[in-house]
Structure 1
């Protein structure tokens, strides 16, 4: 008669031990999974940071292009000391710069001999016309126009800065300002690369 209760108690005791051991193993298993998951998360974080640091210029370039598309600005970005300018929808390369500190938008035109400023851009930058010299005859899409000569003390586009750059000025240019060969020829190089105009000082 004593065997029955004793066997039942033993079974209960063994079951309790198994539950405790199983619970301990389950806890350890969950803990290990958490540790592995945390380690994987940190590896992913460091990988993302390394990728951002390694490709920061490319990421900045993409961000600038996207913002330019959204806001309608000319797409340009500095690449070290060089300037990369994306092709605009009109098939031309446009760049933002300054003329003696005044913001000015330029069309890059390797077919133009001179850097040319509109009357409005010249007025905004405070340029003085050289009335002692004969005006220059410029060929435009609308025919020949007479342009006055002037000198820009400081012109900058992106990271590229030039001092004492001769320019021509005429109201006949309308609102268009042109970066011509007398600007481009002072650069180390200029070229088209993967659809972008690359200017290197």
Structure 2
């Protein structure tokens, strides 16, 4: 095979790879390790230093990947919102969410001012946003973050990590909340444990999910009991 053609194929494959800062850092660290092995034959101290730096960089990259992936529980059970879902109400310092006929708890929330329904899922580590809602709310994937592989009822999909400027429901508001943008999710959105853990407390009593924020927010009269 002509070397020029082979080089063009290699360049084409490299350019097709995802442009991730972590990926590029990994490539540089690996090349530094290879170069260190070559230099070590002539200058052992320099070679050892390069190999040590390469190993240290790869360990740091691995740690960053683990931290990103561990923030997402890959087990998602997506439910389709049904018509006539019971509405949440605010009583005193609590937002109370009745159990819906489908056996789930649903919230009417606002993401950056855009209204949407959310399924409360205590088995999900991160809050999940559908691609449609992300587009309406102006959410973008976090630069340099690796996509997260998730297992859904429709198979394995890649989800992008983002940050929600403001998520508001009942008397609860969360700002700068980590979330994932999930394609092929339809209009389903999920409140995960990273949102619930920000509350002062949450519990279920008599079929009602009770959410208590640290700093209750003012609400419209229509939401008060």
Q: TM-score, normalised by structure 1?
A: 0.62
* Displacement of 1:76: 0.8
Partner of 1:167: 179
Partner of 1:85: 97
Match status 1:152 vs 2:164:
yes
1:113 aligned counterpart, secondary structure:
coil
Instruction: State the alpha-carbon separation in 2 of the partners of residues 143 and 193 from structure 1.
Output: 34
Q: 1:27-176 residue pairs with structure 2 within 5 A?
A: 72-176=84-188
Instruction: State the alpha-carbon separation in 1 of the partners of residues 157 and 139 from structure 2.
Output: 19
User: For structure 2, which runs of at least 5 residues remain unmatched after alignment?
Assistant: 1-82, 214-225
Higher helix proportion? 1
* Displacement of 1:126: 0.9
* Displacement of 1:123: 0.8
Aligned residues: 131
Instruction: State the alpha-carbon separation in 1 of the partners of residues 197 and 154 from structure 2.
Output: 26
Instruction: State the alpha-carbon separation in 1 of the partners of residues 117 and 101 from structure 2.
Output: 16
**1:41-94: CA deviation from partner (whole Å, max 9, x where unpaired):** xxxxxxxxxxxxxxxxxxxxxxxxxxxxxx824321011221100000100000
Instruction: State the alpha-carbon separation in 2 of the partners of residues 96 and 145 from structure 1.
Output: 26
* Runs of 4+ that moved beyond 4 A: none
2:149 aligned counterpart, secondary structure:
strand
8 Å contact kept, 2:85–2:101: no
Q: Cα RMSD (Å) of the superposition?
A: 1.4
* Displacement of 1:155: 0.6
8 Å contact kept, 1:151–1:166: yes
